[in-house]
Structure 1
């Protein structure tokens, strides 16, 4: 599978995957940028919006859990395209429910559909990313995740422009859908068919049964990689959900300065991921994961114990740089074995998203009692565990040579 590709085809495949990684980021930012307008149209309270947004979490988890089975039967390219198209349907429903219909249940359903499409696309594009890495013989996955961040930034800027131009939510969602569909029509031809697909004709690696695909959750290496990803995704998700409030409540700063602090975190993560491939090729996964854990630990300690905003800002930059690598490097490690690659990437991605979705609300509950700054000690423990288990991400071939 994909063994006959020449250098030019691999290069085009790689370029296509960069753009495909950016598309889900663009769609997510398109929705997020219009949440205030949708909330006002629905007349929803914060708690009601929380339940509506939960639809996306439900859809995402279902998508992540079924993705490996879909990829095994249909291949990564098919699932990526299907996921993006399903996401487009979700965006249309969100646009209608959050504006003309003004119906919270419709928005919930739209977000569930949107989340499902994003979930299956996320696993498929990471499976494609690990396949491109093997074909190109170099680390690429952190760069692909940097492209996701760039897509998110572009989507946020487009959303801001749409709001300033007075474009309605349904029209904005429709424009986003057109951008996604036109991108898919151009890009899918550059991606080889069948990545991750398991066929009975492959005598070297017979296809996994559904039971075998589920059994990867019991594999020691996959479980350890999952813990690494959980710790780092928890560190990332906690910043995404709480950092502005942490700075406002913990350092008595203005909301604008809290938002600026979050911008520092996102910028540090994007820079880290953009440079990650070069660092991984030079130093290897284990060294990079250990260094990133140390950076995140140092950053969290500075934020927790810092006495002023300027010192805390330095900690936020270190926290962002440290959190940048765990998720993509963990997914890359999960994809080492071509047989069952979709099942393992799906399992590790599911753990990462659970950490991002479940971890921050848990942090909020703890923060209610002890304050958000002190609650960050829980994140610190998770990151420390990830750093201590970094050895599990060593490439399979190296593990066999150096037991």
Structure 2
């Protein structure tokens, strides 16, 4: 919900504050910036102080941010609210993934896949909720109601027991900084660099591609993107069982092959139905990378797992920003139809990095 909230309501915000596209774009960048800052912060904090207080505080920040967007009268309040949503969401995303890895002695990838299912439900639920209720209520009222639901996880966090902090005596700064030089962590992060970039490209550019290249109606183009999310969400649900029976590295290679198939179908699609088929395959192909790779990170860096997750997720977010920017340059220079070329190149590079990464980590963890 957090990661898709601003994009979903941006048209309404633009009309409410009477802002131009450049200003609206600057608002949209506050969300990923907040997520990036949150992703940097959460790791060292959970290693030093544990999860409970951090998750409670950042859930409150998300609640304040959502209510802030709903009721903001001044533009600077709106900006602050969007940043708070990004920051809190970045911490919650990284923190919950790290927590699941910490409490799972075995099958980290499978359990992280199940966690990812809820990410997909939230991504689908927010636009669906706004669409279903927008004929009856103003968007700010709907958003304010959604914000109140954040109280539920806060209450849950208050009454459950969390793992103890790994470094209660103080974070070993030298070891934490040393992780940046760890080849295994950097290679795992590089896989997520391309994976996050690929997901970002599909989320941000597919609708433009369908509208301009296949002459799809805007409403249908947006709906097509839902199939991508559904494909990913359902696959992660299935991976919760499959990763207990199959080797993770085999799942990753098969996933990349499926993603290649989806990219090929999308690039040659002549009809809406064929394009949707490609998007579903892309969703299926992208589903395994984050849970499996983060599972490897959790296995190898158990004593500083929070900091290691921070580094990996910051690399991933950097890939999202760089590859999205690259796609924008290519689309402007050569045309949107070439956006699939970025998909192919990224998948090829990701496959090469995966091969060398698995060789690098094979003696450190079960692949």
With structure 2 as the length reference, what TM-score do the two structures score? 0.91
Contact residue 258 and residue 282 of structure 2 kept, 8 A: yes
1:139-154 correspondence to structure 2 within 5 Å:
139-154=110-125
CA displacement, residues 296-316 of structure 1 (integer Å, 9 cap, x when unaligned): 112112212334433333222
The answer to whether residue 66 in structure 2 is matched with residue 66 in structure 1 is no
- Preserved contact between residue 109 and residue 291 of structure 2 (Cα < 8 Å): no
Matches of 2:357 and 2:158, distance apart in 1: 31
* 1:45 match: 20
Contact 1:330-1:348 within 8 A present in 2 as well: no
Which of 198, 217, 237 is the equivalent residue of 1:235? 198
- Tell me if the contact between 2:109 and 2:292 (Cα under 8 Å) persists in the aligned partners: no
1:364, CA displacement in angstroms?
Answer: 1.4
The superposition leaves residues 109-128 of structure 1 with CA deviations (integer Å, 9 ceiling, x where unpaired) of 21112211111122111111
Matched, 1:287 2:250: yes
- State how 1:1-400 maps to structure 2 within 5 Å: 25=1, 27-97=2-72, 101=73, 103-134=74-105, 139-167=110-138, 169=140, 171-194=141-164, 197-200=166-169, 208-336=171-299, 337-391=301-355, 399-400=363-364
C-alpha deviation, 1:343, in angstroms: 1.0
The DSSP-based 3-state class of the residue aligned with 1:164 is coil
Which runs of no fewer than 5 residues in structure 2 stay unpaired? none
Segment of structure 1 superposing worse, 301-310 or 146-155 = 301-310
2:216 is paired with a residue of what secondary structure?
coil
Which of 80-89 and 351-360 deviates more?
A: 351-360
Distance 1:368 1:137, change over 3 A: closer
CA distance in 2 between partners of 1:139 and 1:321 (Å): 15
Secondary structure of 2:245's aligned partner: helix
Give the conservation status (yes or no) of the 8 Å contact 1:233–1:326: no
Deviation at 1:183, TM superposition (A): 3.1
C-alpha spacing 1:335/1:43, structure 2 compared with 1 (3 Å)? same
1:260-315 per-residue CA deviation (whole Å, 9 max, x = no partner) reads 32122111111111111222222222111111111111211221233443333322
Query: Aligned-pair distance for 1:156?
Result: 2.8
State the Cα RMSD in Å: 2.5
User: What is the CA-CA distance between 1:175 and the residue it aligns to?
Assistant: 2.2
Residue 71 of structure 1, CA deviation: 0.9
Q: 1:353 to 1:179 in 2, by over 3 A?
A: same
Q: 1:335 to 1:393 in 2, by over 3 A?
A: farther
Aligned counterparts of 1:395 and 1:183: Cα–Cα separation in 2: 40
Displacement after TM superposition at 1:105 (Å): 2.6
**How much does 1:136 deviate?**
6.9
Query: So what's the TM-score if we normalise by structure 1?
Result: 0.83
Change (3 A) 1:148 1:401: closer
In structure 1, runs of 5+ residues without a counterpart are 1-24, 201-206
Aligned residues: 366
1:136–1:76 Cα change, 3 Å: farther
The answer to whether the 8 Å contact 1:30/1:158 transfers is no
Q: What CA deviation, in whole Å up to 9, does each residue of 1:236-261 have, x standing for no partner?
A: 11111111111111222222331232
Residue 394 of structure 1: how far off its partner (Å)? 5.3
Q: Is contact 2:103–2:163 with CA below 8 Å preserved after alignment? A: no
Q: Distance in 1 between matches of 2:207 and 2:326?
A: 17
Shift of 1:42: 0.8
